[in-house]
């Protein structure tokens, strides 16, 4: 034998082997058992010490980044004004309720018919536990949070060509996949060759872990029995009286499971951004925007469409249209913090240097479509015992999100009926809102047959058609970051930018907040030096 064949396998190499063979779920479990598994760099409220001596800052955009800047700069003694395109604050931190009206590019207008107390978040809808800056602002602003359920073992995994198009419970696919992989790895561990590579101590620990994780029997086989049924569910669950005896369920055939590709969704809850615990504001994501508005809403001028940003050595002048009166206005300040999405900013006249201008033009925005559907009853709970969580599908709607609030309510309920990105989002964007909603109902009926009879009304938001955004979030690549990111974040004369696009946490409110805090800290340092 060669030295490589006889040297005990390092734990790092063993973990790589498990990851390659079994995927991220098995890898994470093995890491935990072998002691390797153990978050935003937010360190607490910033302190902008020193007297700015009446310096003024004009903030463009009243999304989360703009409102954070307004709050912190005013506390530090700056004179602050905020210009916002919409008739509300919050930007993509947006909640749609009954009575709301939304007009997208092209003129299509939707009037929301949701019942009182029901809503849908077309933008952010969950907050990871490690987004410490956002959680801290929620606490400081009095925004009450509640758990958001990402993974629900009783939700569905669905493939149009898998198992005759019949949706499978998440727990069933998870249990069978874990069992199949555990059995395969256990057999590999027990071969002479692998025993030579892994120390006897680690072999015993790994076999114990695989037996526990995969619900294997004493011979390290995954098959019908009590252990497997406790994971995947019973054919007939335990009961009481004379009919109490349970009947075991039968695991799916490994080849059918592999060919279904439903296992691809099993790692969704293991990704860092989606690991438990997640949160949502009670009553809708716009409660965060309302919290900021209570503090600095008096600084915001709504319905202000920015048309030009011009700077000179003395300050910045912004030309904007009052959308109500359709009159042109101008505002001037010593400094300008611009949080307008790059998809919109790239179409606005702004005299900055070539590096920043190139950076603004270099970042495309992701397409995304979200559709909220109101139903006459919460059939997913009463009929199928699904309380919160997400069902995944390879249909264009990609997923169905169940509300993590209002459990057991006897009235109507609102689902997230579509959350599409990429080509599917472009397809939905090409349709009218009514057509998007009809498609969402038709596709969803393949998972929940109750859809057609129970559907009441819906709202569809295509982010490339939202006038103030023109896309969901900035899509960086490694190449564009290397060439443009620092130029985008640099202070150009008296102008600097902030927002999720100026962060390494794109698409998340946390990225917007951290970007804003970084920008105003550097701005304050510049002001203090001058």
HEC readout, 182-244: HHHHHHHHCCHHHHHHCCHHHHHHHHHHHHHHHCCCCCCCCCCCHHHHHHHCCCECCCCHHHC
Omega prior to 67 cis, within 30 of 0: no
> Do the first three CATH levels of 56-87+302-361+475-529 and 96-151+276-285+366-465 match, i.e. the same topology?
no
Please give the pLDDT value at position 194: 63
Please give the pLDDT value at position 200: 76
Looking at the chain, the number of H-run helices and the number of E-run strands are 20, 23
Q: Which helix (H) or strand (E) holds 400?
A: strand 399-402
CA atoms within 13 A on the CB side of 313: 0
pLDDT-wise least confident of 186-195, 205-214, 425-434: 186-195
Predicted TM-score (pTM) of this structure: 0.89
pLDDT digits (tens, 9 = 90+) for 450-480: 999 999 999 999 999 999 999 999 999 999 9
| CATH class for the domain made up of 96-151+276-285+366-465 | alpha beta
Q: What mean pLDDT comes out for the span 206-225?
A: 93
Q: 8: pLDDT confidence band, cut at 50, 70 and 90?
A: very low
Do residues 166 and 316 lie in contact, with contact meaning Cβ atoms separated by under 8 Å?
no
Pick the CATH number of 3-38+171-255 from 1.20.120.80, 1.20.210.10, 3.60.150.10, 1.20.1440.240: 1.20.1440.240
Nearest to 278 by CA among 150, 155, 389: 150
pLDDT-wise least confident of 23-37, 143-157, 458-472, 491-505: 23-37
Give the whole-angstrom CA distance, residue 110 versus residue 167: 32
Distance, C-alpha 94 to centroid of its chain:
14
Please give the pLDDT value at position 187: 87
Please give the pLDDT value at position 40: 85
Sign of the torsion angle spanned by Cα atoms 135, 140, 143, 144: positive
Please give the pLDDT value at position 268: 87
Give the whole-angstrom CA distance, residue 121 versus residue 92: 9
Give the whole-angstrom CA distance, residue 386 versus residue 381: 5
Domain ranges (residues) in the chain: 3-38+171-255, 56-87+302-361+475-529, 96-151+276-285+366-465
Q: How far is CA 140 from CA 98, 134, 288, 444, 509, in A?
A: 29, 10, 11, 40, 16
Q: How far is CA 203 from CA 206, 208, 210, 247, 320, in A?
A: 5, 9, 10, 34, 69
Q: Which helix (H) or strand (E) holds 318?
A: strand 315-322
| CATH class for the domain made up of 56-87+302-361+475-529 | alpha beta
Q: 409: pLDDT confidence band, cut at 50, 70 and 90?
A: very high
Give the whole-angstrom CA distance, residue 523 versus residue 529: 10
Q: Which residues contact 204 (CB under 8 A, 6 or more apart)?
A: none
Q: Which residues pair with 497 in a beta bridge?
A: 338
Please give the pLDDT value at position 195: 62
Q: 13: pLDDT confidence band, cut at 50, 70 and 90?
A: very low
pLDDT digits (tens, 9 = 90+) for 103-125: 999 999 999 999 999 999 999 99
């Amino acid at each position: 034998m060669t030295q490589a064949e006889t040297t005990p396998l390092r734990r790092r190499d063993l973990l790589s082997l498990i990851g390659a063979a079994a995927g991220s779920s098995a890898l994470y479990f093995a890491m935990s058992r072998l002691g390797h598994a153990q978050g935003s760099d937010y360190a607490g409220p910033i302190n902008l010490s020193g007297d700015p001596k009446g310096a003024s800052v004009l903030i463009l955009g009243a999304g989360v980044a703009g409102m954070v800047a307004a709050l912190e700069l005013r506390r530090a003694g700056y004179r602050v004004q905020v210009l916002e395109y919409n008739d509300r604050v919050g930007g993509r931190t947006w909640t749609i309720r009954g009575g709301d009206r939304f007009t997208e590019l092209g003129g299509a207008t939707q009037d929301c018919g949701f019942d009182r107390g029901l809503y849908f978040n077309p933008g952010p809808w969950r907050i990871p536990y490690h987004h410490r800056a956002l959680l801290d602002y929620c606490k400081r602003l009095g925004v009450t949070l509640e758990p958001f359920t990402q993974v629900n073992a009783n939700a569905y995994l669905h493939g149009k060509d898998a198992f005759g198009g019949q949706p499978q419970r998440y727990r069933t696919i998870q249990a069978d996949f874990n069992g199949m992989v555990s059995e395969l790895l256990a057999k590999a561990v027990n071969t002479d060759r692998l025993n030579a590579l892994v120390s006897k101590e680690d072999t015993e620990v790994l076999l114990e872990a695989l037996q526990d994780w995969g619900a294997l029997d004493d011979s390290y086989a995954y098959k019908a029995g009590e252990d497997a049924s406790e994971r995947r569910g019973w054919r007939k669950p335990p009961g009481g009286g004379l009919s109490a005896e349970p009947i075991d369920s039968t695991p799916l055939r490994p080849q059918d499971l592999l060919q279904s590709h439903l296992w691809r969704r099993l790692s969704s809850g293991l990704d860092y951004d989606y690991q438990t615990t997640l949160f949502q504001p009670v009553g809708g994501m716009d409660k965060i925007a309302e919290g900021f508005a209570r503090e600095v809403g008096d600084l915001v001028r709504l319905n202000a469409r920015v048309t030009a940003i011009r700077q000179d050595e003395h300050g910045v002048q912004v030309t904007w249209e009052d959308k109500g009166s359709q009159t042109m206005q101008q505002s001037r300040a010593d400094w300008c913090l611009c949080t307008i999405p790059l998809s919109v900013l790239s179409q606005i006249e702004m005299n900055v240097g070539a590096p920043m201008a190139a950076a603004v033009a270099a970042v495309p925005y992701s397409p995304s479509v979200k559709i909220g559907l109101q139903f006459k009853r919460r059939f997913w709970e009463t009929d199928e015992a699904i309380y919160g969580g997400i069902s995944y599908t390879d249909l264009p709607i990609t997923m169905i999100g169940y509300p993590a609030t209002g459990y057991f309510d006897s009235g109507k309920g609102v689902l997230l009926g579509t959350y599409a990105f990429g080509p599917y989002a472009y397809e939905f964007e090409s349709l009218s809102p009514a057509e998007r909603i009809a498609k969402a109902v038709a596709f969803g009926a393949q998972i929940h047959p109750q859809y057609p009879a129970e559907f009441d009304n819906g709202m569809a938001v295509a982010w490339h058609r939202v006038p103030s955004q023109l896309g969901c979030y900035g899509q960086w690549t490694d190449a564009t970051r290397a060439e443009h990111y620092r130029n985008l974040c640099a202070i150009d004369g008296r102008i600097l930018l902030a927002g999720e696009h100026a962060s390494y946490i794109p698409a998340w409110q946390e990225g917007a907040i951290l970007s804003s805090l970084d920008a105003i800290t550097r701005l304050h340092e510049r002001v203090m030096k001058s």
